[in-house]
Structure 1
Amino acid sequence: MKKPFAAIATAALAVGLGLGLGVTAPPPATAAPYCGITWGSAAKTRAIESTAQITGVRTGRHTCFDRMVVDLRYKVKGYDVRYGRVYTEGQGEYVPLTGTDIRIIVKARTYTDSGRATYAPADWDHVADVDDHRTFRQVAYAGSFEGQTTFGLGVRARLPMRVMILDGPGTGSRLVIDVAHRW
């Protein structure tokens, strides 16, 4: 006597499941990091003094992050970049910023050995135009004292950031701070 096809298929399925050959679900999908960014939001520090002098500050918007660049004469070696309140150099007065505060201390000064200014922003509260930026809200200058300079960077939220030192142009260097548009 022939068994109907459905009965044979049911029996084969039961044997397969009994042997552990059942169909398994794929593992849950994990989201890839935004633009491959894996920086995190912890403090970035390098505590090395230098004789570098700040000559300018500029910002730019990229596909996945906003960038702040501090241009320097000579090689910068140290910095301290972290989320937290910003205070003026020397006086210690709080600098209110638009958004979430990032304090940027550059181990470089804004003056020469003879006291001539190498960097003096026209507007301390708005060092760079960030109107078209996705993450940046404000860049402020908080002063230079005893070989270090502080800037405040207001961002829309606590987001991943990275800091790097790039050589050039010439004998100069650049301190680069990138803040992601999102996690």
Structure 2
Amino acid sequence: MHTISRRLAGAALAAALAVPAAVAATTSASAAPFCGITWGSSTKATSPSLLWTGRVTSARAGQHACFDRVVFDLNPGRGTLGYRVRYVSAVTSPGSGFPVPVTGGAKIQVTVNAPSTLSPSTTTFSGWRTFRQLKNIGSFEGYTDYGLGVRTRLPMRAFVVADADGGRRLVVDVAHAW
């Protein structure tokens, strides 16, 4: 009987020692960022006084291995292209402030500091890992707003690319996972 108790105690001790090692391995593996992405989900913005005189001419989206991307194309102009990209509880219409329904578990409001003559439109992304819907809400007093519906709140980044013809592109990437 005494030998069985010692064996059980030894087995329990071995199991207890193995658990922290397994937990440590899991914790360090899950701490590694998805695809090396370290963007976070906080607001990405420039100064609201940075304005571009060129107009938003289109919005297009693409899928990448680690993120979905939307690109806002602007024609040549003067100034500096500014933007504000942020998670919101509800996307709102510029000027009126009325809520605009956007499909997705989380919503991103994209404000491009440039005018647009594009008509309001909606693009739905079926089968995409992150994007659900993109709505061109409209332009008001030189600023253009879009609502981007995504699966859930995920890391994102935003940056501006200067084109050879003098135009600009605002790029917004949203990761597939944390």
Q: Please, what TM-score do these two structures have when normalized by structure 1?
A: 0.75
- Determine the C-alpha separation between the residues in 1 that align with 2:54 and 2:86: 21
Instruction: Name the residue aligned to 1:156.
Output: 151
- Give the letter aligned to residue 67 of structure 1: R
Q: How far did 1:93 drift?
A: 1.4
Does the CA-based 8 Å contact 1:105-1:150 persist in structure 2?
yes
Question: Gaps spanning 5+ residues in structure 2: where?
Answer: 1-20
Deviations 1:39-97 (A, max 9, x none): 00000010212212100000000000000000001265200000002111222210011
Is residue 137 from structure 1 mapped to residue 129 from structure 2 by the alignment? no
Instruction: Name the residue aligned to 2:112.
Output: 106
Instruction: Name the residue aligned to 1:3.
Output: none
1:62-101 to structure 2, matched below 5 A, reads: 62-74=64-76, 77-84=81-88, 85-99=90-104, 100-101=106-107
Higher helix proportion (structure 1 or 2)? 2
Larger CA Rg, structure 1 vs 2: 1
- Determine the C-alpha separation between the residues in 2 that align with 1:167 and 1:104: 19
The aligned length equals: 147
- Give the letter aligned to residue 119 of structure 2: A
Does the CA-based 8 Å contact 2:81-2:168 persist in structure 1?
no
- Give the letter aligned to residue 137 of structure 2: A
Does the CA-based 8 Å contact 1:59-1:130 persist in structure 2?
no
% same residue: 49
- Determine the C-alpha separation between the residues in 1 that align with 2:39 and 2:101: 26
- Determine the C-alpha separation between the residues in 1 that align with 2:144 and 2:162: 19
Question: Gaps spanning 5+ residues in structure 1: where?
Answer: 1-24, 111-116
Instruction: Name the residue aligned to 2:44.
Output: 44
- Give the letter aligned to residue 92 of structure 1: G
